[in-house]
Amino acid sequence: MQATTTSFGIEEALEQLGIKEVNKGTSTGKNWFSDGEEITSHSPVDGQVIAKVTTTSKEDYEKVMESATSAFKDWRLKPAPLRGEIVRQFGDELRRLKEPLGKLVSYEMGKSYQEGLGEVQEMIDICDFAVGLSRQLHGLTMHSERPGHRMYEQYHPLGVVGIISAFNFPVAVWAWNTALAWVCGDVCVWKPSEKTPLTGVACQKIAAKVFADNNLPEGISCLINGDYKVGEMMTNDKRVPLISATGSIRMGKIVAQAVAGRLGKSLLELGGNNAIIVAPDADIKMTVIGAVFGAVGTAGQRCTSTRRLIIHESIYDKVKDAVVAAYNQLRIGNPLDEKNHVGPLIDKDAVKNYQTALKKVVEEGGKIIVEGGVLEGEGYESGCYVKPAIAEAENSYEIVQHETFGPVLYMMKYSGDVENALELQNGVVQGLSSAIMTNNLREAEHFLSVQGSDCGIANVNIGTSGAEIGGAFGGEKETGGGRESGSDAWKVYMRRQTNTINYTTELPLAQGIKFDL
């Protein structure tokens, strides 16, 4: 019998996070307002209503922007290390509330509790990264061609950063953006997914407490809620110089056109169609672990989820048998029960997309080797639990070319050398994550070379799913080209300025030009 959510401490978690039966969905910090239409958050775990959130009206949005633009004028003047100190305190609050926030992520989104905790840990990690970064927002010094001149470049805050996040990582992706934007001197306005509004409310409450405790102005961290129409308020707003949007390719193209139309900047993290190449000398055990977690983790609802397994024909049957055997051991059920490997899809629309994909792959000539299907009965009342499925398919199938946000894995063969595998892997419009399983140094290096993977992430002997915050995260082609999190991704949140100083009593011109008066 499925345990009730009460036994997993959901009610206590909601209380600790300040989630009420009906929550105001618009906030500039301590101030919460909006009496718009209500979003009802249903848990995919058991189908129950968790709570409701009111949406943001145009009038509410204007209040938010007035507060944010005003706060920016103050926040940008704070020394970057002081801004880092605020982010450090925010990270400490996340540590204190890691368990309840992780439970809310799991219950509202449907990922396993361990993954929910892991997502909050990502938030903590990016805060730690941002604190160190706050003392390293560096430019370059260059030699001038003119005597007695010094050249250098520096970075200044952009202003208001608009963040549109997706349901699958309802808190971590916001933190990736906002922790860096804050230390860079920006203020943030966040529209979480309408499918996971409560995690947005919870995070805003945590942030608001930190800013209030430090007597900082309203508007440094703002929250808005609603559907795509609320997102359009930001994408069309010239007061928002940067829009960071995570979601589908279709959504990203709409955002990109709107922001480009006003010559704004966009940071896009869109779809993935990620493949693992399994070379002839691959470690089978490692391959199985990487492929199975990559395909079924978060019920296949990660942008980095493994969609395709490209296996050399010489070991195809061996790898197939091992992966199928592993699928037979999967436990599907309440994600708050740590004995389960796979939780539900986010909603019934996602279930329909999953069913459509399995139908289409067969219609195109594919063969189902691990049967899918929707689970029914006790413990599966929400109607969102499905069985992870595997299909043998060709890379050219239309359904394989598209991203299905669910636990559907396509297996295919390649022959010859790694070039043939790379042609398959790169033969899709998406370019987010990729991996090769091999013990051949030459194959590994070729995979990472300019002739190899065309993705923003390329891994050797680990899967496609997951990323460390120290590296820049993002992809190429129709994945959008954006980069978040580590490395020098911070630069997108700032404007670059080149400075030249003449410390002589003369004014020589560049390129030796003479202009005598």
Q: What is the DSSP letter of 489?
A: G
Which whole-number Å values give the CA distances from 205 to 24, 94, 169, 456, 478, in the listed order? 11, 11, 18, 34, 35
Distance between CA atoms of residues 505 and 488, nearest Å: 38
Tokens (6 digits) for 459: 């891994």
**Which listed residue (115, 194, 218, 269) is catalytic?**
269
Question: Sign (positive/negative) of CA torsion 349, 350, 352, 356?
Answer: positive
Output phi, psi for 420, to 5 deg.
-70, -35
Which whole-number Å values give the CA distances from 314 to 224, 285, 324, 393, 431, in the listed order? 54, 17, 18, 17, 27
Mapping DSSP to helix (H, G, I), strand (E, B) and coil, where does residue 484 land? strand
Distance between CA atoms of residues 481 and 427, nearest Å: 17
Distance between CA atoms of residues 438 and 443, nearest Å: 7
Distance between CA atoms of residues 56 and 51, nearest Å: 17
DSSP string, 166-214: -SSSTTHHHHHHHHHHHHTT-EEEEE--TTSHHHHHHHHHHHHHHHHHT
Name the nearest CA neighbour of 36 among 55, 59, 63, 64: 55
Judged on CB neighbours under 10 Å (0-12, 13-18, 19+), 493 is buried
Dihedral Cα 321, 324, 329, 334, nearest 10 deg: 170
* Active-site residue flag, 269: yes
Strand partners, 412: 310
Q: Write down the residue that tokens 């949140």 correspond to.
A: 493
Which whole-number Å values give the CA distances from 34 to 26, 41, 47, 54, 69, in the listed order? 6, 17, 26, 6, 19
Which whole-number Å values give the CA distances from 143 to 151, 208, 501, in the listed order? 6, 45, 11
Distance between CA atoms of residues 131 and 85, nearest Å: 7
Is 92:64 a contact under the CB 8 Å cutoff?
no
Residue 56 falls in which region: left (phi positive, over 0), alpha (psi -120 to 50) or beta: beta
Is 480:269 a contact under the CB 8 Å cutoff?
yes
Indicate which residues carry an active-site annotation.
Answer: 269
